[in-house]
Amino acid sequence: MELNNIEELLEKYFDATTTVAEEETLRTYFSQESVATHLEQYRSMFTYFSTAKEERFTKKLPLKPRYNYNKWISVAAVAVIAFGLYFGNTYHEQKLAEQKEAEYAYNETKKALDLLAQNFSKGTQKVAYLNEFEATKQKIYNHK
């Protein structure tokens, strides 16, 4: 009867439906001297589980102190963003001022060149009168 019970418990064990008490029954059965020969293959597995359960890790692990870098990273990120906003805005304003200054210089140069072009037009009109005067003078002198 006990052998049938152990075989049923083994089937439940491999189906993962055993309770802790039933697993303990299996461990005690496989830890005794007399085990059925067809179940002998499971002895090493259950004895390993029994000995592994008793093992404890006793070495000391050197733990390094853990610093909380996250708060310093967030502080640095805020500082970089503030720095970027301040100097980025200043840079943008400086570029706008330079652009307005260049536009003003362009307009003033354009006015000066327009004035110069008007004065050259007046000068060419006067030269045209002189050419007409010269042509007339040549006609008068050539007839005599």
User: For residues 122, 125, 130 and 133, what is the CA-based torsion angle, rounded to 10 degrees?
Assistant: -140
pLDDT in tens, 63-122: 777 677 777 888 888 888 888 777 777 788 888 899 999 999 999 999 989 888 887 777
* Contact (CB, 8 A) for 12 and 22: yes
pLDDT in tens, 32-75: 888 888 888 888 887 777 777 777 878 887 777 767 777 788 88
| Cβ neighbours, 10 Å, residue 18 | 18
